[in-house]
Amino acid sequence: MALNIKRPNGMEDVVPKNVHKWHTVEKIARDTAESFGFGEIRIPTFESTDLFLRSVGETTDVVQKEMYTVMAKESKFTLRPEGTAGSIRAMLQNGLLNEALPQRVYYILSCFRHERPQAGRLREFHQFGLEMAGSSSPAADAEVISLADTLLKRLGLKNIELYINSIGCPSCRAKYHEALHSYFENRKDELCDTCLDRLEKNPMRILDCKSPVCQEIGKDAPLILDYLCEECSNHFESLKKYLTRLGIEYKVNPRIVRGLDYYTKTVFEFVTTEIGAQGTVCGGGRYDGLIEQLGGQSVPALGFAMGIERLLLVMDKQGCDYLAPKKCDIYFATMGENALEKAMELSKSLRGFGYFAEYDMMGRGLKAQMKYANKIGAMFTVVLGDNELSDGKVRLKEMEKGTETVIALDDKFASSFEEIYFNKIMDVMEEETGNDNLLSFMGGNK
């Protein structure tokens, strides 16, 4: 029978057999952010459209072409296309910027952009991101970049290059805009319609155009680094010094402008060539004017976002390790109604200890149940029937080695199982040469 309703184009399902990959990224991201002093923030899925018009910028592709916007009565709302604007709005509205600075927040959320779906570019995608508000120092830039670099390394990613640039402050950028306008004015007949509009409003956005023609024209455009004021130049030089001191390799790429209008001074990207055209796995920078633009005091801020789908594409491509998927700790193969009821009782007790316990609910025969236990990767199995109930004890079988241990069917069953379970862990510690496999084992089970 044909499926009548399918998921929308550009969306993806994450089924149970793959969700452990997401859990790996999310856990390592959370742990890394918290080790740098960041706390989690959760924001609404949609916001007032004006929030994104004022922050992301009316001349960006995101606002002009990609936002999902709906009318609710007389109000206009937009599904968030990125996480920074909503996070800053939440920090302002909840008074976080009145507390000790810098304020540090991170988030894991879904974003929505109406783009042409392709590998690494979906219409609903997920980001790990963070924001730091309160510090204007280039040391804060280095700290945020260091966090991103640390996370990518903890995920096991290789061959990722860091590119940095400075796009200046409003003062020096005004002179740069004049130079860009003069350059593109001479070739405006070749620009796409979108960039013709940008030429008057924000010529720097032309450098971010996806049109191959506009990209070719932009190759010889003036460079922002030649127009930096003394303060912005000193800020950028200090950042490079700090990154060198931290042992973080980087390359200066004067063509990086990022796709959102709120950026100032430092911008950066972590890029790979291993997943095709969509190779940017992390992008961010400083946005010192955004908080004031949204109605707050003049508070400097910066941050970054990583696309989780893109991270997973690279991790799969490079064969990175994931936490093991959760597997069954103990499976009860039952024979008869009384045995089924006892299995229910024992499973409830074991789950109270945090174990993954399962028993048959399909009415299978004993042989089929044991086959099923093998299929789901159960660590231990118990055969439970009238004889076992009468004797008051069962044989606990370790599936990998086939060894059996007799356990009494009493109120100490769960604690007896726990002792055997942790002896198994000790065996793993003795057999494995490193901690990675043990961590994987622990990640997949209790």
Dump pLDDT digits (tens) for 180-207: 899 999 888 889 988 988 888 888 888 8
311 vs 296: CA distance, rounded Å: 34
Q: Retrieve residue 175's tokens.
A: 């002179």
Show Cβ contacts of residue 193 under 8 Å, excluding neighbours closer than 6 positions: none
**Tell me, what DSSP letter sits at residue 118?**
B
225 vs 232: CA distance, rounded Å: 9
DSSP 202-218: -GGGGGG---HHHHHHH
Question: What does the pLDDT read at residue 312?
Answer: 96
Question: What does the pLDDT read at residue 439?
Answer: 46
* Contact yes or no for 81/55 (Cβ under 8 A): no
Nearest one of 290, 217, 259, 339 to 64, comparing CA atoms: 259
* Contact yes or no for 87/8 (Cβ under 8 A): no
Total residue length of the chain: 446
Q: Retrieve residue 293's tokens.
A: 């633009």
Question: What does the pLDDT read at residue 161?
Answer: 96
**Tell me, what DSSP letter sits at residue 190?**
G
Question: What does the pLDDT read at residue 64?
Answer: 74
Vertex 166 angle, CA 162 and 171, to 5°: 170
360 vs 164: CA distance, rounded Å: 57
* Contact yes or no for 83/125 (Cβ under 8 A): no
380 vs 367: CA distance, rounded Å: 16
**All domains in the chain, ordered by first residue:** 19-169+229-318 (3.30.930.10), 330-444 (3.40.50.800)
Q: List helix spans (H) across 36-100.
A: 49-55, 61, 84-93
163 vs 145: CA distance, rounded Å: 11
Tens digits of per-residue pLDDT, 391-434? Answer: 999 999 999 999 999 999 999 999 999 999 988 877 766 665 45
Question: What does the pLDDT read at residue 357?
Answer: 97
As a whole number of Å, the end-to-end CA separation of the chain is 40
Which parts of the chain sit beneath pLDDT 70?
1, 58-59, 61, 259-260, 277-278, 428-446
Q: Retrieve residue 108's tokens.
A: 């894991």
Residue entry with tokens 């793959």? 18
142 vs 240: CA distance, rounded Å: 8
Q: Retrieve residue 306's tokens.
A: 């990583």
